[in-house]
């Protein structure tokens, strides 16, 4: 089986990665549909390519960047990007001092805090006054002592958020935003009735608590934004009138972790090709490279999946390897040395840490080759 991507990249030597622009744009359109009019802040960690960040932001439904590191945010400002929210706390003194020292950068970058410790850390910079900050509020579901969701912020109740907002203001910081990341809704495939129930209860509980927190903080701070959601929860979080913007990025690439959702089905837009380099025995071939395992809880859901050729499977006793990946099944019979096997990544932007460039294709045409963050010599963790 030959994919259009094979024809588009016939002169490119694997391993390499592609992004299908038609699928990317279709996914962006679907994200906008599910956002139902709320602007989507594009998550840079899920894209990690300036060209494709710009492509998303050129659309009417996207506005602003959700960055993951302060040095990244400074670089993006230098490259002309605006309204960048660093959604994770930072203790990088040099990078933070660089934001504080440059008026233009300070005006475009918002930092995250979730504790008095963070406020005191920022207050210890040479020129912290006027730095923009947003409070990260815990959006997990708690049932008794059971915690369902990610371990992020200690902030949860309105009084706690108000106290921190006041402490930040007293330290000379400008509180301009709130963030609620509902990982147990956005990041969980609909794999069972139990998961669906958890997601439903989370949405109902968070709807009330988020509104209370937002109302309380607005009494003491002039908020520019209240951010919520992720690719997996836009259509849920966007129904909350307290939310002013949503966040998404992974859905642009359509990785395998989104294959199990009931409410949407992104198109596979990103993939990588590996060359066949040996045939260790009947019914087996070996591809070069492939050990690109995604972050998160260890398991097969984090492993790249063969794509586009029926009957090609990973060897479960080996998985994907640092230098070689064995494959088996009926689909390998006709593969010859040098043939390509396509894989989809489990998550999204992490794939770009393995490749210097993305080959942008449309149908069977190679449109352009653009650098990833890695290809521009940038590594932000």
- pLDDT digit string, tens, across residues 306-332: 999 999 999 999 999 999 999 999 999
For position 126, what pLDDT does the model report? 76
Instruction: Compute the distance between CA of residue 117 and CA of residue 147 in angstroms, rounded to an integer.
Output: 23
Token pair 């994200």: residue: 31
Q: Identify the residue with better confidence: 381 or 98.
A: 98
CATH 2.40.37.20 residue window(s) in the chain: 4-17+265-376
Q: Identify the residue with better confidence: 139 or 337.
A: 337
CATH 3.20.20.10 residue window(s) in the chain: 36-252
For position 144, what pLDDT does the model report? 63
Average pLDDT, rounded, for the chain: 92
**96-134 per-position pLDDT tens digit:** 999 999 999 999 999 999 999 999 999 988 776 779 999
**Whole-number percent of the chain with pLDDT over 90:** 76
Q: Global pTM? A: 0.93
Sequence-ordered list of residues with C-beta below 8 angstroms from that of 59, at least 6 positions apart, any chain: 28, 32
Sequence-ordered list of residues with C-beta below 8 angstroms from that of 291, at least 6 positions apart, any chain: 319, 320, 321, 322, 323, 325
Token pair 């009735």: residue: 193
Q: Does the pLDDT value for residue 146 go beyond 70?
A: no
Q: Does the pLDDT value for residue 283 go beyond 60?
A: yes
Q: Is 132 helix (H, G, I), strand (E, B) or coil?
A: strand
Task: Give me the CATH topology for the region 4-17+265-376.
Answer: Lyase, Ornithine Decarboxylase; Chain A, domain 1 (2.40.37)
For position 188, what pLDDT does the model report? 65
Report residue 152's pLDDT band, with 50, 70 and 90 as the boundaries: confident
Separation in Å, CA 25 to CA 153, 252, 269, 321: 33, 8, 9, 32
- Provide CATH code, domain 36-252: 3.20.20.10
């Amino acid at each position: 089986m030959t994919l259009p991507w094979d024809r588009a990249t016939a002169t490119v030597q694997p391993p390499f990665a592609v992004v299908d622009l038609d699928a990317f744009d279709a996914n962006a359109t679907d994200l906008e549909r599910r956002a139902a009019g709320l602007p989507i802040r594009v998550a840079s960690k899920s894209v990690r390519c300036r060209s494709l960040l710009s492509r998303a932001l050129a659309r009417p439904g996207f506005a602003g960047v959700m960055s993951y590191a302060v040095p990244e945010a400074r670089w993006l400002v230098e490259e002309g990007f605006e309204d960048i929210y660093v959604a994770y706390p930072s203790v990088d003194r040099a990078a933070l001092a660089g934001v504080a020292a440059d008026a233009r950068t300070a005006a475009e970058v918002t930092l995250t805090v979730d504790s008095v410790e963070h406020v005191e850390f920022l207050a210890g910079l040479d020129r912290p006054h006027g730095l923009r900050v947003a409070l990260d509020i815990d959006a997990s579901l708690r049932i008794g002592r059971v915690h369902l969701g990610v371990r992020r912020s200690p902030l949860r109740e309105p009084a706690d958020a108000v106290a921190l907002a006041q402490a930040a203001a007293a330290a000379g910081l400008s509180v301009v935003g709130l963030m609620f990341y509902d990982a147990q809704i956005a990041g969980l495939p609909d794999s069972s009735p139990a998961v669906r129930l958890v997601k439903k209860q989370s949405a109902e509980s968070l709807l009330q608590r988020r509104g209370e927190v937002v109302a309380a903080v607005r009494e003491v701070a002039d908020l520019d934004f209240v951010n919520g959601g992720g690719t997996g929860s836009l259509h849920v979080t966007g129904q909350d009138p307290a939310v002013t913007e949503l966040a998404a990025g992974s859905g642009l690439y359509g990785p395998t972790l989104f294959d199990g959702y009931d409410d949407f089905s992104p198109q596979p837009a990103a993939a990588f090709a590996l060359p066949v380099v040996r045939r260790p025995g009947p019914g087996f071939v070996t591809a070069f490279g492939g050990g690109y395992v995604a972050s998160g809880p260890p398991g097969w859901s984090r492993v790249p999946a063969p794509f586009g050729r029926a009957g090609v499977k990973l060897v479960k006793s080996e998985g994907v390897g640092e230098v070689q990946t064995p494959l088996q099944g009926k689909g390998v019979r006709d593969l010859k040395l040098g043939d390509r096997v396509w894989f989809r990544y489990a998550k999204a932007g992490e794939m770009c840490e393995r490749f210097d460039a993305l080959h942008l294709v449309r149908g069977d045409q190679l449109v352009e080759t653009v650098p990833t963050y890695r290809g521009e010599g940038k590594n932000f963790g």
